[in-house]
A = this chain, B = another copy of it.
Amino acid sequence: MTGRRKSPLEIDVTEAHMCSVNLRLHILSQVPFFAGLSQADLDRVNSLFNEQGYAPHETIYFSGDAVKHMFVVADGRVRLMRHSPSGKDVLLDILTPGEFFGSFSAQGDEVYHETAQAHTQTCVLGISVNDFRAILEKNPQVVLRVLDITSARLQAANVRVHQLSALPVEGRIAYLLLVLCAKFGKPGNDGVLIQTPLARDDVAAMTGTTSETASRVMSQFQKDGLIRTGRQWVAVIDLFALEEIAKAEIS
């Protein structure tokens, strides 16, 4: 019935998207900062989470909402974004199973600073900030891991600041494709497919440009044989060439 589809993306068409208990435990054990816990601790932690399914474009929380939960992606893709009154939204990140979002500062923020939205069919595990803080206070190694992850994200954010400040659009898009490739890449027939829906709008919102410009740049990349792309999908063919473009700053 979908034999006509040209898109190489594997899509998940489950209905009410709930995850099995097995999947839950598997996911939690894969979350980097719970990796060190014993099976017993893990079971206890698991019982503190409750799950929730979301359809594409459904909002998990809005920027400005009071902080109540910390979340882990169990299945699907979650978008983290910031809004502007002008309507020009910024896409901070696309999260994949095992990644967490929401509040994770120990102090506890008052409100969320970004909006979380289901990007695909999604199952999300949530834990109240109080419960999460209790886990942090009881398990010092967990805090250290959370700190590591937060540091890495700060790192990545600074790279992005650098690029937005110093690189032209071409370079920023080239770099973005490399990052997404490292995160979502599945080697396929020709090139590495970025296994997530990815519209020109998304690329634009992640690189601080417009969908038209993103389209122009990516069309050029395709003409030059660096990528293959279609509606909502991209596959990277020539990683090395993209690296060169991302690194090349107008001397």
The interface of chain A, by Cβ under 8 A from chain B, is 63-64, 82-86, 88, 90, 92, 104-107, 109, 113-114, 136-137, 140, 143-148, 150-155, 157-158, 160-162, 164-166, 205, 207-208, 247, 249-251
A86 in complex: contacting residue of B82, B144, B154, B251, CB < 8 Å: B251
| Cα distance A43–B247 in the bound complex, in angstroms | 46
Could you tell me the distance in whole angstroms from the C-beta of A55 to the nearest C-beta in chain B?
A: 25
Q: Inside 8 A of A86's CB, which chain B residues have their CB? A: 166, 249-251
| Cα distance A208–B167 in the bound complex, in angstroms | 10
Q: Inside 8 A of A205's CB, which chain B residues have their CB? A: 165
B251 pairs with A166, CB closer than 8 A: no
B136 pairs with A144, CB closer than 8 A: yes
Best-buried of A90, A106, A158, A249 by chain B (most CB within 10 Å): A158
Q: Inside 8 A of A148's CB, which chain B residues have their CB? A: 105-107
B161 pairs with A157, CB closer than 8 A: yes
30 contacts between A and B (CB under 8 A): A64-B251, A82-B158, A82-B162, A83-B251, A84-B162, A84-B251, A85-B250, A85-B251, A86-B166, A86-B249, A86-B250, A88-B165, A88-B249, A90-B161, A92-B158, A92-B161, A104-B151, A105-B148, A106-B144, A106-B147, A109-B151, A114-B158, A137-B140, A147-B150, A157-B157, A157-B161, A161-B208, A164-B208, A165-B207, A166-B208
The 5 A-B pairs of least Cβ separation, nearest first, read A165-B208, A105-B151, A157-B157, A86-B249, A164-B164
A105 in complex: contacting residue of B105, B107, B152, CB < 8 Å: B152
Could you tell me the distance in whole angstroms from the C-beta of A104 to the nearest C-beta in chain B?
A: 7
Could you tell me the distance in whole angstroms from the C-beta of A15 to the nearest C-beta in chain B?
A: 34
A157 in complex: contacting residue of B109, B146, B158, B207, CB < 8 Å: B158
Q: Inside 8 A of A84's CB, which chain B residues have their CB? A: 162, 166, 249-251
B90 pairs with A162, CB closer than 8 A: yes
Could you tell me the distance in whole angstroms from the C-beta of A206 to the nearest C-beta in chain B?
A: 9
| Cα distance A158–B146 in the bound complex, in angstroms | 18
Q: Inside 8 A of A249's CB, which chain B residues have their CB? A: 84-86, 88
Best-buried of A86, A143, A250 by chain B (most CB within 10 Å): A143
A144 in complex: contacting residue of B88, B143, B153, B250, CB < 8 Å: B143
